[in-house]
């Protein structure tokens, strides 16, 4: 890799606002804990930059198993019953 052209890549805490969970990973989003950046003290006692996200796999309905299944066949039948089936012309 060419030195000096890549963003800082380091540990960052992603905090889920919807579910209240947080996880530590590496990212280029918040490369340092500057005075203006938000930071959090993690379980290991170190301070890491934090990125707040609206939803993550911890709170998304698809990953938590609370996703609703849509009845597309019933919708098609209801549409055909209401408006009739068009024949080939």
What local confidence, expressed as pLDDT, does residue 16 receive?
Answer: 85
Q: In what order do the strands lie in the sheet with 39-41?
A: 22-27, 10-16, 47-53, 39-41
pLDDT tens digits, one per residue of 1-46: 788 898 888 999 988 887 788 889 999 887 555 556 688 899 999 9
What local confidence, expressed as pLDDT, does residue 47 receive?
Answer: 93
CB 12 within 8 A of CB 50: yes
pLDDT tens digits, one per residue of 47-59: 999 988 877 766 6
């Amino acid at each position: 890799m060419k030195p000096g052209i890549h963003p800082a890549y380091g540990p960052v805490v992603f905090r889920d606002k919807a579910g209240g969970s947080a996880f530590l990973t590496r990212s280029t989003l918040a490369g340092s804990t500057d005075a203006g950046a938000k930071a959090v003290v993690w379980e290991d006692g170190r301070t890491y930059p934090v990125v707040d996200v609206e939803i993550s796999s911890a709170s998304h309905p698809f990953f938590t198993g609370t996703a609703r299944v849509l009845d597309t066949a019933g919708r098609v039948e209801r549409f055909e019953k209401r408006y009739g089936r068009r024949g080939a012309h």
